[in-house]
Chains A and B, each alone.
Chain A
Amino acid sequence: DAGITQSPRHKVTETGTPVTLRCHQTENHRYMYWYRQDPGHGLRLIHYSYGVKDTDKGEVSDGYSVSRSKTEDFLLTLESATSSQTSVYFCAISESIVGRSEQYFGPGTRLTVT
């Protein structure tokens, strides 16, 4: 199994509070991704990173920001959580750009915003 951990695994927070999710990898892969999974939507890309301090937006990036100061860590921040951000969040890594290598996923973080 790819060495990917996510923390926390579960979190309940209140509307309007900031939340940070962490993804940590031990594979030294260059590319890292954050997805959210919602019923009826499959997985949707929030943000991704193609190197330290190099990030870009995905299809559902509004309300989220990311940072990557080290190869192994990719942080996702919800600046002011809303109920629509209740979801399961998955981090993924890949050795090369998507397509030329497969993405491996972390165990997921279940976030509930009340």
Chain B
Amino acid sequence: AQKVTQAQTEISVVEKEDVTLDCVYETRDTTYYLFWYKQPPSGELVFLIRRNSFDEQNEISGRYSWNFQKSTSSFNFTITASQVVDSAVYFCALSFSQGGSEKLVFGKGTKLTVNP
């Protein structure tokens, strides 16, 4: 079964600390995609990154970086030098094939609070 586990329900850090959000997935597909979304307190969902299963290269975008490891079925997200504006719920998601179509399954999210 396809599944995404975000074991950290809530994380609280002080501004400027580095923080890593964990994402572990399960899938039988050989081709799949992984995503991260951010949901700030205002409620909208913001797309952060998409990664396909054949590309294990880590990615960095400013203070954000992602570490994809197929060997451990993980796609972790690190925020360097966190800021108060990073406070949000972060969702990891996995695409999978079912009945000839592709769908997205989300983890339950990690709530990150960055304190000044």
Which residues of A are in contact with B by a Cβ distance under 8 Å? 33, 40-45, 48, 50, 56, 58, 88, 90, 92, 97-105, 107-108
Contact = CB atoms under 8 A, between A and B. Distances in A.
A98 B45 contact: no
Main secondary structure of the interface of B (DSSP, over half): strand
Contacts of A99: 32-33, 50, 52, 95, 102, 104
Given A98-B102, A99-B32, A105 B95 contact: no
B47 A102 contact: yes
Nearest to A101: B50
Given A102-B35, A107-B43, A108-B44, A97 B102 contact: yes
Interface of B: 32-33, 35, 37, 43-45, 47, 50, 52, 91, 95, 99, 101-109
Contacts of B52: 99
A49 B39 CA distance: 24
B44 A107 contact: yes
B95 A104 contact: no
Contact of B108 (A42, A104, A108): A42
Given A58-B103, A97-B102, A99-B102, A42 B91 contact: yes
A100 B43 contact: no
Contact of B43 (A58, A98, A108): A108
Closest 5 CB pairs of A and B: A99-B95, A99-B33, A105-B45, A42-B106, A42-B108
Contacts of B99: 56
Nearest to B37: A105
Contacts of A45: 103-105
Given A99-B32, A100-B33, A107-B43, A40 B101 contact: no
A30 to B, nearest CB: 12
25 contacts: A42-B91, A42-B107, A42-B108, A43-B91, A43-B106, A44-B106, A45-B104, A45-B105, A56-B99, A56-B101, A98-B95, A98-B102, A98-B103, A99-B50, A99-B95, A99-B102, A99-B104, A100-B102, A102-B50, A103-B35, A103-B47, A104-B47, A105-B37, A105-B44, A105-B45
A97 B101 contact: yes
